[in-house]
Amino acid sequence: MSASQPISFSYEFFPPRSQKMERRLWRSIGQLERLNARFFSMTYGALGCAQQISIESAISMHQESPVAVAAHLTCANATAKGIDLVARDFYNAGIRRIVALRGDAVESNASGSAMYGYPSAAELVSALLKIGDFDISVAAYPEVHPQASSAKSDLFHLKRKLDAGAERAITQYFFDADKFLRFRDSAQRIGIDKPIIPGILPVHDLDMVKNFSQRCGASVPPSYDVLFASFKNKPEAQYRLSLDLSVELCQRLHQEGVEQFHLYTLNKTDMCLDIGLALGASISTPPFSSVA
């Protein structure tokens, strides 16, 4: 696989919870449509109205944007019947891409145990493919899922999800290229031959990233503290530093044959746009259908 091959991108958004956030989301989508993205993904709320906003946002993106949309769907906080109904809603709306996740249950049923409509994402993948011809992505963890008993068991669980019919895996974000490359090598050794797409998180706020990383099992290099502290109270310099770190990470992975990246936008797209341009993406005018 040649490092001279072009890089492509997909982008993740989260559903807006206010009119101001909704305006920012649509500005963000409009910016990144111009980079010929492979797809946009919309995350899934944990409960109730948050889930409904996620569903409506994904369907609106599909209807309004020329870019393909992947809707997230989790096993948590719902029955299998309820999950299947949401999947059919997506399918009937024309969405054919799903990011299938186990998710984190935040409610308990009458017995006091967490509610999962399907016991794992592997079963969710199988169920989705009985509903329709979905193109399914699943999650992967280069630094091991926090609830996994071991790196080996986590890797074999990834294989189960892919063997169930998922087309690719998208990783949790990471900041050390070698960790991803070792993970990819380990996956290949156990027979995983489907694409593993690196998830890239630009560092907009180092403290926020460190706090979130403690919960999701990702590690932040100790050197980041020193690097960002050197530009304290200099937002433009910190922006440039974060941009450079993300671009250098992607360039290193591209040299090792990676051709596609999934960027976690946090609905802030200036840096995602700059990363794409720095890595050779070109601006284009997306096709829009005429309005009667």
> What span, in angstroms and rounded, lies between the C-alpha atoms of 181 and 255?
11
> Cβ neighbours of residue 40 under 8 Å, at least 6 residues apart?
10, 11, 12, 13, 29, 32, 61, 65, 67, 68, 69, 70
Q: What is the secondary structure of 102-157 as a DSSP string? A: ------B-TTSSBPBSSSSHHHHHHHHHHHS--EEEEEE-TT--TT-S-HHHHHHH
Answer for the pair 45, 54: CB distance below 8 angstroms, yes or no: yes
- Specify if 162 maps to a domain: yes
CB 291 within 8 A of CB 259: no
Residue whose entry in the numeric block shows the structure tokens 């990471």: 174
pTM as predicted: 0.92
Which residues does the annotation mark as catalytic?
12
pLDDT on residue 290: 45
Position with higher pLDDT, 239 vs 287: 239
Give, as one character, the DSSP assignment of residue 74: E
Whole-angstrom CA distances from 221 to 81, 164, 206, 258 are 43, 35, 11, 22
H or E stretch covering 203: none
Helix (H) or strand (E) run with residue 292 in it: none
Let me know if residue 3 belongs to a domain: no
In 3D space, the residue among 267, 276, 193, 219 whose CA is nearest the CA of residue 24 turns out to be 267
Output 66 or 3, whichever has higher pLDDT.
Answer: 66
Question: For a pLDDT cut of 70, what percent of the chain falls above it?
Answer: 91
Residue 284 inside a domain? The answer is no
* Domain-embedded: residue 35: yes
Is the model more confident about 283 or about 41?
41
Query: Does the residue 88 lie in any domain?
Result: yes
Check residue 55 and give its pLDDT: 94
In this predicted model, what pLDDT tens digit does every residue of 213-266 receive, in sequence order? 988 889 999 999 999 999 999 999 999 999 999 999 999 999 999 999 999 999
With respect to residue 189, please indicate whether it lies within any of the assigned structural domains.
yes
- How many Cα neighbours within 13 Å face the side chain of 242? 23
Domain annotation covers residue 1: no
Q: What is the CATH number of the domain that holds 152?
A: 3.20.20.220
Q: Residue 158 in contact with residue 192, Cβ under 8 Å?
A: yes
Instruction: Assess if residue 211 is contained within a domain.
Output: yes
* pLDDT per residue as tens digits for the range 106-138: 655 555 556 889 999 999 999 999 999 999 999
What is the tally of structural domains in the chain? 1
Q: Which whole number is the average pLDDT over 139-160?
A: 95
Domain range enclosing 143: 8-278
